[in-house]
Copies of this chain bind each other. A is one copy, B any other.
């Protein structure tokens, strides 16, 4: 079989099949993704996928903050904030520190802010590009 003009032939149990051309125009180099990585990434992304949880995460990105501080800053209910903090703890995105009756939470990895930045600009660009048409 010739390799000159490659094409994928998908075997089907019945009758004929259509021929589909194959091109590729690669992007920059990126980390080769293993199966476990998809789990991890989607799990972290899920932590960022709720608006309130994201607000909370960014609220503790500038340094330690108590639960009450977060509650007051964001105007969310205390149990809701606690619940989301528990999730953020589960995903290891926050560092926890106890001091007296107060419990302080803090963003554990600043690179999350880079992610948020990129997503913000991408979203902005996608939306404005959409309006162009």
Interface residues, chain A, with chain B CB atoms under 8 Å away = 8, 10, 18, 20, 23-28, 30-31, 33, 37-46, 48-51, 53-55, 58, 61-64, 66, 68-69, 72, 92-93, 100-102, 108-127, 130
Name the B residues within 8 Å of A121 (CB-CB): 31, 111
* Of listed A23, A26, A49, residue having the most chain B CB within 10 A: A49
A49 touches B42 (CB 8 A): yes
The A interface, classified by DSSP as helix, strand, loop or mixed, is helix
- Smallest CB separation, A70 vs chain B (Å): 12
Q: What are 5 A-to-B residue pairs whose CB atoms are below 8 Å?
A: A24-B62, A25-B63, A39-B51, A43-B49, A45-B54
A20 touches B66 (CB 8 A): yes
Q: Which residue of B lies closest to A68 (CB)?
A: B10
Name the B residues within 8 Å of A38 (CB-CB): 51, 54-55, 58
